[in-house]
């Protein structure tokens, strides 16, 4: 379960940015292609935040849709996986525009 180490990293980032103040909420952006299971993040967050500045904080997870751009015809389209071809021209030169994110978007502190 790599969500445990990811959650520990999120907590470290938030604590170092909180200036010693208690964190009451954290908003995470999680891309659909990131291979992160939101429910596992929620479970790990509750367990890992005990005894930290984030204990009792609300975790909000915003899912970021996967989107690609065809390098052949410039069509932008939703992706379901890394290996989707362009629905317009069937090209395979697809650049991922979004969907791989995993970042702390914002946090609230006391």
Q: Give the pLDDT confidence of 84-107 residue by residue, as tens digits.
A: 999 999 999 999 999 999 999 999
The band of 2, judged by pLDDT with boundaries at 50, 70 and 90, is confident
Domain for residue 53, yes or no? Answer: yes
Inside any domain, residue 93: no
* Domain extent for 43: 3-66+99-109
What three-state secondary structure class fits 64? strand
Residue ranges of the alpha helices (H) in the chain? 3-17, 38-48
Question: Residue 9 domain-assigned?
Answer: yes
Q: Is residue 92 part of a domain?
A: no
Per-residue model confidence (pLDDT) at position 1:
54
Query: Is residue 86 one of the residues assigned to a domain?
Result: no
Q: How many domains does the chain divide into?
A: 1
Percent of the residues in the chain that have a pLDDT greater than 90, as a whole number? 98
Cα–Cα distance list, 64 to 9, 31, 74 (Å): 20, 4, 21
DSSP 80: S
Q: What is the pLDDT of residue 33?
A: 96
Would you give the distance in Å from CA 66 to the centre of its chain? 12
What CATH number did the domain enclosing 49 receive? 3.30.2320.50
Domain-embedded: residue 79: no
The string of pLDDT tens digits covering residues 8-62 is 999 999 999 999 999 999 999 999 999 999 999 999 999 999 999 999 999 999 9
């Amino acid at each position: 379960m790599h969500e445990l180490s990811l959650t520990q990293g999120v907590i470290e980032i938030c604590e170092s940015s909180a200036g010693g103040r208690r964190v009451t909420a954290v908003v995470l952006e999680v891309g659909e292609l990131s291979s992160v299971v939101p429910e596992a993040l929620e479970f790990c967050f509750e367990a890992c935040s005990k005894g930290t500045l984030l204990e009792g904080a609300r975790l909000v997870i915003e899912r970021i849709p996967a989107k690609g751009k065809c390098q052949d015809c410039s069509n932008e389209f939703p992706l379901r996986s890394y290996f989707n071809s362009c629905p317009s021209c069937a090209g395979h030169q697809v650049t991922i525009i979004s969907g791989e994110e995993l970042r702390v978007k914002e946090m609230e502190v006391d």
